[in-house]
Amino acid sequence: MTLTANFPDPQKFSNLLFEKMQLISPAVTELELYEFRYCLDNITPAGGWESIMPAAKKDIERLVNSRAFYDSIQFNHRVNGSIALDEKIIKLSQMLFVGLVSGQYSVEWALKHFYFDVRCFFFLHRTTYFTDTIKARFGVRPYRQFEPKQTAFERQQGIGYKEFKAANAGIDGLFITSAKQLVRSKKSPVLLAIAGQTAAGKTEIVARLREAFNADGMQTTSIELDNYLLDRNYREAYGIHTEGKRALHLGLLLLDLQKITRGEVIHTPRYNFIDGSSSHDLEGQLKADRTPIEVFPADVIFIEGNFPFLLDEVAPLIAIKVVYLTDDPVRLKRKWKRDMDYRKKYDLNYFRNRYFKDQFIMAEIAYRPQLELCDLAVDTTGAALWAAPETAAVLDSR
């Protein structure tokens, strides 16, 4: 199939695609047609849209649910010396564009499997975190649910924390109340681990939890698991993902957790998120001119990170296990605002390649497995609190 007969005019193609994409992504409705064409120019195939042959829907579904596909995406794919968008990401979106215009793919099918980010200007696969199996573990339904207010973000290209916090007010308030009740049911000191994706709001919710515990007269402290990461260059050179013990100064982490639960002051590594370097070398020794983080013991010790209770050595030490999640399209908009607009943390195409790749892999190897282990799960996008049966029993005893 080609588009030569049906769409000989590139302008007509872009007109039709613009109409379809407004149904796919409310953020596209905020663009004028000429702005949409600016974006489209960057992904238009050299041979024209008629050169694209859309694959069968079942083949695309198989592709985007394959770990091998995401493993093949390169963060640092380079063209003429500069990092470029991986060609497999481009090809997928080109096929979806053509299939939508030609009618081979319906809008309903596209929305079921994909979401579209305007600033990335490509399609990303939708991730299901709360599978039927995971829901069954929590008793099928959330412990409590509020009106989902993150739907207001669908037209936006970036999201700041102030509006993100306001949208999550109901679910965050219940989570803070529930966490306080669970801590009171445990013997101090309590290790409370909060797992969650980048830009899900982990750091901010821990800060608010600390304020709430401090207001109740409890001392708190926080250990960020990412500070135990090995140098980024080392991890990427060996294909080590950040979900496993090979990515961490694991020996230092275990020693520090043992010390702080005995009431001792610890000095954790410090990870530089801008250049991707650790304060410690691969042998766990402090590098010259680097400063570790001093952490004092407390009644409640927060552990933040992507996978704190997937580590067999660490999990038995954790009294309360929480997964704090935000759906991928919202997180991506938060990252545009936070990491690209404000922090200017990544090269543009490195950022696009990495998010496309990592959202699938991390859901598969870190977040869904931890949803099968946690005491509480906070779904900020769904505005729902999920509680394991034994945890719900403690919450209901108040």
Q: In the chain, where are the structural domains located?
A: 10-125, 132-396
Q: Which helix (H) or strand (E) holds 298?
A: none
- Domain 132-396 sits in which CATH superfamily? P-loop containing nucleotide triphosphate hydrolases (3.40.50.300)
Under the banding of pLDDT at 50, 70 and 90, the label for residue 6 is low
Pairing mode of beta strands 266-268, 293-295:
antiparallel
Under the banding of pLDDT at 50, 70 and 90, the label for residue 77 is confident
Question: Range with the lowest mean pLDDT among 7-11, 34-38, 97-101, 299-303?
Answer: 7-11
The pLDDT value recorded for residue 156 is 97
The pLDDT value recorded for residue 177 is 97
Alpha helices (H) along 239-367 = 250-261, 328-335, 348-362
pTM of the prediction? Answer: 0.89
Q: CA-to-CA distance for 138 and 388, rounded, in angstroms?
A: 5
Average pLDDT for 127-136: 97
Nearest to 322 by CA among 141, 199, 175: 175
C-beta of residue 349 within 8 angstroms of C-beta of residue 393: no
Q: CA-to-CA distance for 51 and 255, rounded, in angstroms?
A: 59
* Three-state secondary-structure class, residue 195: strand
The pLDDT value recorded for residue 274 is 87
C-beta of residue 352 within 8 angstroms of C-beta of residue 110: no
Question: For 263-274, what is each residue's pLDDT tens digit?
Answer: 999 999 999 988
Average pLDDT for 309-338: 95
Under the banding of pLDDT at 50, 70 and 90, the label for residue 237 is confident
Q: Is the pLDDT of residue 1 over 70?
A: no
Of residues 245 and 148, the one with the higher pLDDT is 148
